[in-house]
Structure 1
Amino acid sequence: MRKERRWKKVLSALVLAAAMGVTAVGCGTSGGNTGSQPQGENAAATETAEVSDDIVNIGVTNTLGTLNPLLMDGGETNKYATSLMFLPLVELNSNLEFEGEIADSVTTEDNKNFIVHIDEKASWSDGEKITADDVVYTALRLTSPVIGNTSMMYYVFEGVGDDGFTEEGAESIDGIKAIDDATVQFTTKEEMSLTTFENSYARYLMTLPKHVIEQYTEEELKTAEWFNHPDVVSGPYMVTDFDVDHYISYKANENYWKGAPKIAKLNIKIVSGSQLYAGLQSGEIDITQPTMSVIPEEDYDSVEALSNVNVVYGEPVTNQSVFIQTKNVPDVRVRQAMLYAIDRKMVLEQLLKGKGEVADGFLSSASPFYDDSIVPVEQDVEKAKELLAEAGWDGSQTLRFYVNSGDSAFVNAANVFVAQWAAVGIKVEVQTVDFATLMSVAGTNDYDILAVQYTYAPVDPYPDVAWLLGGEDSWTGYGDDSVNEALAKTQTTSDMDEIKGLYSVVDQKVQEDVPMFSAYIVSAQAAVNKRLSNATPSVYGFFNNVEQWEITK
C-alpha cells in the first residue's frame, strides 16, 4: 500500500539518524521516536557541573545533536532541549493526553484536513504575538531542499514532494496554509488519524519567530549563530551556553507567557549512565528522566537507598525488541520454537529486578490500545523441540545475533537466551557491537537476529509498526495482508475501541508468526532531589510545567 511505503521511507531516514548516535522519534527509537525510538548508547562523560542553590541540573545520557529546530532529527534530547526555548504546537502529558502548548486546539472532521488554532495568549519573549504566519513560515523552512532536513516527514502534506521537500524557492505550501492570524490548516495527501498528526507532527513542529529569522537566507539558517543564543523565544528558557558533548545551560525567560519560571537557571548535563548514581548522591544532578537518563539496572538499589532523592519508575514503554530476519529464518515453526525455548520472566526478574513486564507484540500496558487478553508465550522446552522436529531443523545452522554492546543488561540477557536456545538444538552466536554499528547492520538486513531498545509511542504506534512489518526491506522482512489491512484502518477511524481491536489483530499475528518478540519492556528508574518541588520524572510531559518547578530552601 502507498501509505506503508511512504512510512517505510521516513523510518529508514530516522534509522540513519539513529546510526549517528541519536535516539530516533517515531521509530524513532528512537528513537524517538518517543516518540518512537531506538535507544542509543550513553554519551561521553561530562565535566563537573556547577552546584548551586539557585541552579537545577538535569542528568541525561542521550546525546545532543543541534539546538536549531530546522535541523532537528527528532532525537529525544534534541526535542526537549529545543522545546524549552521553542514550544511545539502540542505535547503529551504524563497521562498520555495531548495538551496545548502554542496551540489550544487541534481538530479534524475528515482525517485529512487538520485545523490548528493558536492560543490567543501565546506570545514571543519580545512581546509580539505568535501567529499562524510563524507556524507556516517554520514549516516552509522545514521543507526547504536548501536546508535539507530529511527527518521531519513532511512529504505527507499536499504540495510537498515525496522526498519531503518543496521546490527550491517556494513561497507557500498547498497543504499548510494560514486561515487567519490564529488558525493553520494542514492537509494530508492520504487519510491520517488525529493522534498520528498530533504525535508525529504537532509535537515536533517547534515554531520559530518569522519576524526575527526572515532576515536570514535559507543557506544562512543552517549555520546561524542566533540559534545557539536566541534572544526571542516562545518557551520558558533561553540557552546561554552549550557544549554538544557535555552540557546545555539556560536562563529563565522572564517574559514567558505562561508565567515566569521560578528557577532562574537550568543545566542539562550529558553524562554516562555510570555517573548518574554519583551525581544524584553528591547533588551535582538534581533530576533524571526515565528515557533520556538511563540509570544502569545494577545501580537501582543504590539509587533507591539515597536519602536525598525520591525514586520513581516510568511507565513500561521501552521495549527490548528482538527482530528475526524472516528471509534467513523462513520457517515459522523455527521462529515459534525460539520463543518457546526462552524464559523471559526469569530474565526480567533476575536482570531487571522485575522493573518492567513481558508482553507479546509491540504494545505495552502503557498504551491505551494494549490488549491484556493476549497472554505472553511462556517457556515450554518440549514444545520448542517438537516444533523444531516438525520443521526438520537439524541444528547445523548457526544464527547471528547482533546486540548493542552498550546495553549491559541485555548483553547478559542475550547470553541467557543463547544457552536456552542451545538446550533445544538452536545454535546462536552473539555479536556485540556499538550502537552505530548495530544500526548500520540493521540497514543491511545482513543478520539473523537483531536486538534494539525501541520506544513505540503508546498513543500512536502506527509509524513504527507499519515500518517494522513492512515487507522485505524492513528489519523483519515480514509482511502480511491482514496486518497491513488492520494498520491501514487505524488511520481512518477515531474510535478508540476500534483502534484497540485493530492493534490486537497485529499483536496476535506477531505472536503467531514471530517476526519479532519482546524480550522485556522496561519500567526505567528515575530520581529527583528532595529539594525540588513540582518536578516529577515522567516518560512524557517531563517539561510541560517546568516553569512551576521550585527549589525548596
Structure 2
Amino acid sequence: MQRVSRLLALTLLTGILAAVPLPASAEKVIRVGLWSGPGTLSPINADSSYGYFVVHFIFDTLVEMEPDLTFAPRLARSWEISKDGRTYTFHLDPKATWHDGKPVTASDVAFTIRTIATPGVQTNRGNAIKAIQGLDETGKMTGNAIQGVRVIDPHTIAITTRTAVDPARFLEQLGTGVFIIPEHLLKGLTPQQLSRAPALLNPTVGSGPFQFVRYVQDQYIELKRYDRYYRGPARVDRILVRIAGAPSIAAALINGEIDVVAGPGIGEVPLQDWEMVKRAPNLRPVTAPSLGYQFIAINSTRPYLKDDRVRQALARGVDLKLLVQQLYRGEAIPAVGPFSPVTPYINKSLQPIPYDPAGARRLLSEAGWDFSRTLQLLVPTGNTLREQSASIIQATLQAAGVQVQIQRLDFATLLSRVFKHDYDLALLGWTDTFDPDHVSSTFRTGGQYNLGGYSDPEVDAIIDQAAREQDPARRKELYDRLQVLFQQKVPAIFLYYPNMLAAVSKRLVNADPGIVPFEFYAARWDVADGPASR
C-alpha cells in the first residue's frame, strides 16, 4: 500500500508534462528529464550545467571525450602536436556546416576564441582557453591580438600555448569545453550587443546534430534533427528535454513520460525512489561513481570567516559519516577534497576531515569567535537530499558551537547571491572536468568560479605550477600537496561524492547516462522499437 501511495503522489506531480507536444506517429522521439530549466542557452555563457546540457546538442566542439577518456574527432577530424608540446594544429572537417547552410571554418574557431578573450564579453569559458599564448590567467587578451591563434587556411588552425602543457588537459579544456559559434551572425557586435544577441540567446543556428526549435519556460526544450549534419544525421527525429523536478522524475520514468534522465547533478533519480525505479519493468537502472561532489561554499570575504582556524572548525563541525549514512544509504562516500575518486588525481593517503565538535570549539575560541553570531546557510530548492542534508549540517554545527540559520532559495536566486558574495555559507554541488586544473577556476585567486572569494599565495603557486607541468606524475605530486593544503586551510567544506543514480527506458539504444556527458553522443541515440509509443 505504501508503494502504491508513493507512486500515486509522484504521478500527480507530473501533470505539467502533459503540456509537452506529442510526436507525430512516424517520428522517433526521445524525452530527457532535467531537474530544472536553464536560464540561458548561450554557448559561451550558459548560466549553469542545465544550459550546457542543451548546448551540447546544438553546438559542436573541436573534439569529444570518449568513455575511456581518450579524445576523438568532432569538428576537428585530426590534429597534430608540435615537438615542443606547445602548438596544436587542428584540421576541420570540410563537410561541417552551420544550420543555415554556411560552412564552418577555421575563422569561426578563431572568432570564438577571440570573442571569449575580449574584455567585457560576458562568458564563463575563459578557463577553457587561458593556456593560449597572448591570454592571461582568466582567458582575456593581454594586448590587441592573440599571438597564439593562427588561421592557416579555411579548414586549418594552429593554436599555441604560453608554455607546454599536458595534452590531456588542453584537449579537454579547449577541445571539449569551447563550443564554436558562427562568425557570420555575430561579427562586429560589441560586448554589450553580444550579451543580447539572438544568435546566442535563441540559438537556431549551431553546427551540432540537432537544431533548436523552442524553449517553453520551465516546461520543455524542443530540438529537431539537422539532416545535413557532417557526421551523418542523428538516428532520432526529435529530442524533447522536459523540465521535471526531482520529486516527479521517478513517476515520469515509470509512466513512460520521459525515456531517460539527464545525468549527474542535473537529472537523477532521488534516492528515496531508487528502489521503485529499479523494480520498474520498462527501465534499466544505471549507476556509477560521480565526477562531482557536494560542498559548502564559505564566503572568505567575510571578516569573521577569513581565519583558517574558523574554517577548519566549521569543517570539523560537520559530520560527514552521518550525512552519508542517513541520507545516501551507501550511494555516496565522504569527500577528502575537490578531486573525485574516479580520476587518478585524488590523494589516496588522505582521510576525510573527522567530526570533532570539541576540537571545533577549541579552534573557534583560539580565533576569538563570537559564539552569539548566527551564520546563514543558503540552500537551493529542488534537490530533496541536499535540502535534507542542510538540517543535519545545521544540527552538527550547532553541537560544535556554531549557530546556523537555513534559508531556502530557488537555484537562480541563490547563485546570484553567491556570485555577489552576499552570503555566509551555501550548500552546492559541483561537477568538474577529469583534468585537475579545474581548481584554477574554483580556488585560485580571481578564478571565475571562486565562489568563496578565497585567496592564498601558497595555493595559487601550486595551482600555477601544476598547470604548466607536462609530466602527469609530477602533476600528481603537486595536486597531492594541494589537497593536503586544502584540508589545512579549508577554502570550502567538501562533503561527499555521490553516486550517479540514473535510469533509461529499455526501448532506447546507446543512450545510457555516464560520467562522461552522454549528450556528446546524442547523434548515436536510437529507439529500438521504432516510433515513440506515447
How far does residue 482 in structure 1 lie from its aligned partner after superposition?
A: 3.1
Q: TM-score, normalised by structure 2?
A: 0.80
The alignment partner of 1:491 has SS state of helix
Distance 2:182 2:311 in 1: 53
- 1:321 Cα deviation (Å)? 1.2
Of 245, 248, 267, 1:275 maps to 248
Contact 2:439–2:463 at 8 Å: present in 1 too? no
> Could you say if the C-alpha distance between residues 485 and 312 of structure 1 is closer, same or farther in structure 2, counting changes exceeding 3 Å?
same
Question: Quick check: 1:45–1:272 contact (8 Å CA) kept in 2?
Answer: no
Distance 1:271 1:390, change over 3 A: same
How far the C-alpha of 1:106 sits from its partner, in A, is 5.9
In structure 1, the residue matched to 2:229 is 256
**2: CA distance, partners of 1:377 / 1:338:** 10
Matched, 1:132 2:106: yes
Counterparts of 2:402 and 2:241 in 1: how far apart (Å)? Answer: 46
1:63 is aligned to 37
Residue in 2 that maps onto 1:449: 425
Give the direction of change, closer, same or farther, for the CA distance of 1:495–1:188 in structure 2 (3 Å limit): closer
C-alpha separation in 1, matches of 2:80 and 2:217 = 34
Equivalent position amino acid for 1:131 in 2: T
Aligned in 2, Cα 1:116/1:157: closer, same or farther, shift over 3 Å? same
Instruction: Kindly indicate whether residue 505 of structure 2 is the aligned counterpart of residue 529 of structure 1.
Output: yes
Equivalence for 2:70: 97
The range that moved more, 44-53 or 505-514, is 44-53
Q: Distance in 1 between matches of 2:480 and 2:374?
A: 33
Provide the rounded CA distance (Å) in 1 between the counterparts of 2:57 and 2:420: 37
Separation of aligned partners in 1, 2:130 and 2:317: 43
Deviation at 1:532, TM superposition (A): 0.7
Closer, same or farther in 2 for the Cα pair 1:76/1:339, shift >3 Å?
Answer: closer
Render the CA deviation track for 1:352-378: whole Å, top value 9, x for unaligned.
232222122211102221121111123
1:500 maps to which of 476, 486, 511 = 476
Shift of 1:349: 2.2
**1:541 alignment partner AA:** P
Match for 2:61: what amino acid?
Answer: P
1:48 is aligned to 20
Find out whether 1:307 has 2:281 as its counterpart: yes
Change over 3 Å in CA distance of 1:241–1:533 after alignment to 2:
same
The C-alpha deviation readout for 1:72-102, integer Å capped at 9, x for no partner, is 4364343342332331112233333333211
RMSD, aligned CA: 3.8
Query: In the alignment, is residue 352 of structure 1 matched against residue 328 of structure 2?
Result: yes
Which deviates further from its counterpart, 513-522 or 150-159? 150-159
Alpha-carbon displacement from aligned partner over 1:163-182 (angstroms, at most 9, x marks no partner)? 97789xx9x85432212343
- The residue number in structure 2 matching 1:284 is 257
Are the equivalent residues in 2 in contact too, given 1:466–1:484 (CA < 8 A)? no
Letter in 1 for 2:63: V
After superposition, the C-alpha distances for 1:127-182 in whole angstroms (9 at most, x for unaligned) are 87643234234445556689x44333267655679997789xx9x85432212343
- Distance in 1, Cα, partners of 2:186 & 2:415: 37
SS in 2 for 1:457: coil
Q: 1:446 to 1:133 in 2, by over 3 A?
A: closer
- Structure 1 position 277, deviation (Å): 1.6
The 1:492–1:343 alpha-carbon spacing in structure 2 relative to 1, beyond 3 Å, is same
Letter in 1 for 2:70: E
When residues 414 and 258 of structure 1 are mapped into structure 2, their CA distance, relative to the original with a 3 A threshold, is: same
The structure 2 residue matched to 1:342, chosen from 318, 337, 340, is 318
Matches within 5 A, 1:172-251: 174-188=147-161, 193-208=166-181, 213=185, 222-223=197-198, 228-230=203-205, 234-251=207-224
Quote the offset at 1:228 in angstroms.
Answer: 4.7
CA contact (8 A) 1:93 1:541 kept: no
* CA distance in structure 1 between the aligned counterparts of 2:447 and 2:107, rounded to whole angstroms: 42
Q: Which amino acid in structure 2 is aligned with residue 319 of structure 1?
A: Y
Distance 1:65 1:425 in 2: 38
Does residue 459 of structure 2 align to residue 487 of structure 1? no
Find the residue that maps to 1:361 and give its secondary structure: coil
426, 429, 440: which is aligned to 2:402? 426
SS in 1 for 2:518: coil
Say whether residues 1:516 and 2:492 are aligned partners.
Answer: yes
Whole-angstrom distance in 2 between the partners of 1:343 and 1:161: 40
Aligned equivalents of 1:290, 1:445: Cα separation in 2: 29
Deviation at 1:503, TM superposition (A): 1.2
- Within-5 A mapping of 1:334-413: 334-388=310-364, 395-413=371-389
User: Does the alignment pair 1:320 with 2:284?
Assistant: no
Structure 1 runs not aligned, ≥5 long: 1-42
Secondary structure of the structure 2 residue equivalent to 1:274 = helix
Contact 1:108 1:194 in 2 (8 A): no
Structure 2 counterpart of 1:335, one-letter code: R
- 1:484 CA displacement: 1.9
2:297 aligned counterpart, secondary structure:
strand
**Cα distance in 2 between the residues matched to 1:164 and 1:512:** 29
Secondary structure at the aligned position of 1:263 is classed as coil
Residue identity matched to 1:427: Q
Identity %, equivalent residues: 27
Contact 2:67 2:516 in 1 (8 A): yes
Q: State whether structure 2 residue 128 is matched by structure 1 residue 152.
A: no
The answer (yes or no) to whether the contact 1:400–1:428 under 8 Å persists in 2 is yes
Q: CA deviation at 1:522?
A: 2.0
Shift in CA distance, 343/89, structure 1 to aligned 2, threshold 3 Å: same
Segments of structure 2 that go 5 or more residues without pairing to the other structure are: 1-13, 530-534
Letter matched to residue 197 of structure 1: F
Q: Distance in 2 between matches of 1:513 and 1:86?
A: 40
